[in-house]
Structures are given as structure tokens and as C-alpha cells.
Amino acid sequence: MSDRDKRVHCNSHGSAVATFVCQHVHKGKDLGFCLATDPDDPWPDAWCNACDEALEANGWKWNDEIEKKMHVVAICNKCYERVRNRNSRATRSLKN
């Protein structure tokens, strides 16, 4: 989830709201963009289709192993928008 109280310094955008995504969507393209469900958060946690499949296989339970596979990184909310646009076309249908 984004943390409006936590700021990150982005080389492109300066000081901005911290958001959290898997390293795959951060660096990749057309990998899917799956979201945590939080209608009050404009930048909810996000991850690629592969991480979503791993999470599903684990019964939708977060644990150290899942987080290790995802390699969650903090990025700014403006980069989040770019990452979402770059990866959204390949998003798989979520069952949860």
C-alpha cells in the first residue's frame, strides 16, 4: 500500500509518496499488474502475474518465502503510474 506519511526520493520526480511493487513490474514490461484491494488507496501494492500465481499457489497467504520471491521495492507514486501503464496489458484475471 502507499504510505502518504513515508516519502521516497526519486531521481526523476524528487520527493514523492512511497508505493510498493514487486521488482519484476518495476523493471519489466507486459508482465501484468495485479493489485491489492484497497478502494481508499490510489497506489495499492502491486505485483506481476508470476508473483500473483505464486501467491495463489500459497493460498493467498503472505509469508517470508513469497515476499522473498517478489522482492518488493519502494518506488514513488509517479513512477508507479508509469509501471502500471507499462505492465497492465498483460494482467491476468484475479480469482480472489
pTM (predicted TM-score): 0.82
**H or E element at residue 75:** strand 72-76
The more confident residue out of 3 and 22 is: 22
- The domain spans of the chain are 3-90
Report the pLDDT value the prediction gives residue 95, as an integer from 0 to 100.
46
The model's pLDDT over 13-24, given as tens digits with 9 standing for 90+, comes to: 999 999 999 999
Tell me the C-alpha to C-alpha distance, in Å, between residue 30 and each of 34, 35, 37, 66, 94: 12, 15, 21, 21, 16
The model's pLDDT over 33-90, given as tens digits with 9 standing for 90+, comes to: 999 888 888 999 999 999 999 999 999 888 888 888 889 999 999 999 999 999 987 6
